[in-house]
Structure formats: C-alpha cells, structure tokens
Amino acid sequence: MEPGLLLAPVTLSGEEEAQLRRWARGRTQRPLALRARIILRCRLGHTNRAVAGTLGLSAQTVGKWRARFLARRLAGLIDAPRSGAPRSISDELVETVLAKTLHEQPPDRRRWSSRRLASELGISQRAVLRIWHAFDVRG
C-alpha cells in the first residue's frame, strides 16, 4: 500500500464474490465485467493506482468504482438508466440483420443492399445502415 494513503477496505460476502466472478467472466457486458475485475482486485488490498496499472486504467476510474461499490454494493456497479429515448432496435433484430447479412444471399444478387434488406425485414434502411456501421459489416 502507498504510504499515507488510507483506502476503505473492500470486503465481500460469498454471494457478492460469486456474482462478481460471473460478471468478470461475462462477454456481453464488457463495462460490467471490467468493474467486477476492479472490485475483485481491490478486495485483495491493492491501491487504486496498483489496480489501475494492472488493468490499464486510470487511478481515478478505479477510485470511482471502488467508491460506488462501497456505497451501493453490487447495485453501484450496474449502469443507471440514461436519458433520451429508449432503444427502438432490439438485440434480436440486430442479430437477425447480422445473420442475414453474413450468412444469406439475396435470391438474385451476391450481396444485400441496405434498401433490400430493410424491405425484407420490415425496418428502415437507416436502421440497417446503423447496425452495419456499429458492427463494421458491409452488405
């Protein structure tokens, strides 16, 4: 521990540790997995700077998640709802667009156009283009 630096110790119940380990292994929610890894390292008594160095983060980021965990436990690590309109494109629709784009060919062409795929799925062309752009996929 760094001299003169007093950090609140991070202690975990068995249930909390098990949940953090599950989150840390998760692949779909990367931010939550990283936060879980931060807390799992903090519980070993490491300083924010040491944890930051190990995970390639800033000490401020580690301190933020340590403080949120100590204040609100596991709930403090979960993203809070954000302002703005809710997502209009479901994960299932994204999966369908990607599956069709990557694994199926349109009947009379080699590749999908955004207009044709949108028409086939009953969504807007812009939605198809946003999904393709987000996943760096071309029709």
Average pLDDT of the residues in 127-131? 94
pLDDT tier at 85, thresholds 50, 70, 90 = confident
pLDDT tier at 5, thresholds 50, 70, 90 = low
Q: State pLDDT tens for residues 116-125.
A: 999 999 999 9
Average pLDDT of the residues in 104-131? 93
Q: State pLDDT tens for residues 27-73.
A: 767 889 999 999 999 999 899 999 999 999 999 999 999 999 999 99
Contacts of 139 (CB under 8 A, 6+ apart): 101, 111, 112, 113, 114, 117, 128, 132
Check residue 6 and give its pLDDT: 67
Separation between Cα atoms, residue 23 and residue 15, nearest integer Å = 12
